[in-house]
Amino acid sequence: MSDLDAFRLETRAWLEENCPKSQRGPVTPDGVIWPGRNQTFPSEDARLWFERMRDKGWTCPDYPAEYAGGGLSPAEEKVLREEMQRLNCCPPLTDQGIGMLGPALLEFGTEEQKAEHLPKIVRGELRWCQGYSEPGAGSDLASLQCKAEDKGDHFLINGTKIWTSYGVESDWIFCLVRTSNDGPKQEGITFILVDMETPGVKVKAIDLISGASEFAQVFFDDVKVPKDHVVGEIHKGWTVAKSLLKHERKMMSELSKGVLGGTVTLPDLAKEYIGCSDEGEITQPLYRDAIAHHEMNMRAIGLTGYRTHQEALARKMDTNVPLIMKYLGTSELQVKDELLVDMMGVRGLGWKDEQFNENEERATRELLFNKALTIAGGTNEIQLNIIAKRALGLPKGPHS
């Protein structure tokens, strides 16, 4: 038996013994385990599951053990993910610090920054949000104007960030700020970490058409931030930002895997709302065709993700693939949303009424909220431009 096979058996046994039954199954919005200074848990089982995984470092299994992570190799981390999927284990912790900031710190952070922040991410002590977009710098992110003025041992930050996911609930924010106007606009940008309890930081929730308020606008008014909070070099934050965006796009490409939290499938819902023949075939051929195309696309996306992971293990991964996967994954998620609501007919207009069941209300809200996913992390239009230029080598058009 190979070492990896032995690790799989040990991991499987540990998960079966330590993952509570209530923490196996689809994750509802109310069941997500978030970190933070004032961390709370949706249930006692959720707390127990988090603490057990935290103590093994498996909230961040691929982080080095010296920073409280699991210290797993890429192959071992893949095995852990597969075994958690086999049992349908809920994520023990969800945060932008895990999949976005953490990898950026491992690549660009100082030893002091890694020692300070990575263990806290693993242990769920702080909740992080991302301060990139501004009212005048969304798709053209390099046009950002949130200013950080050099004051010797610290920066003084003034400006605003918008569409900040979970900004109201977060403890710290990783930001791009303008530290110089000299040279190309990508130059003079600095990547900096800010404690949101610092005087001068204010956060305002943004109400969405889905009825949620997961986005916020963050205001900086003479916010004093020490220079040792800069990640990477001053004026060279664009390099850090581009690396971090790769992780964000990979994370977003994986959002398209579930339907209504994974409780039911599109074929099941089609049979419920449209009907099926005695042989179990969906009665309307147009919906059969649309569902088949969606299922094939999702299968292709999944297989491509698996292939990319294997190539990454062999250090042969095409770095353009996350760009493509983000575009395909989020686009296909919207195809699913629209198909599902269309099949439900008037039942797909549910909001909050006893006449509609939970699936119908969630379908409507997900259709509305998921429109944001082809904007966040780079709009589809910008993604296609990047793919055309970087992945396909196409020339710029006459209006580019």
Active site residues: 248
Q: In angstroms, what CA-CA distances link 116 with 194, 196, 209?
A: 14, 16, 38
Q: What is the CA radius of gyration of the chain?
A: 22
Q: How far is the C-alpha of 225 from the C-alpha of 190, rounded, in Å? A: 12
Helices (H), strands (E): how many in the chain? 12, 8
Residues 231/191, Cβ–Cβ less than 8 Å: yes
Helix (H) / strand (E) containing 384: helix 380-386
CA angle 294, 295, 298 (to 5 degrees): 85
Give the CA distances from residue 169 to residues 76, 110, 126, 164, 382, in Å, rounded to whole numbers and listed in that order.
33, 27, 10, 11, 29
In 3D space, the residue among 11, 24, 16 whose CA is nearest the CA of residue 76 turns out to be 11
For 287, the token pair is 């919906």
Helix or strand or coil: residue 350? Answer: coil
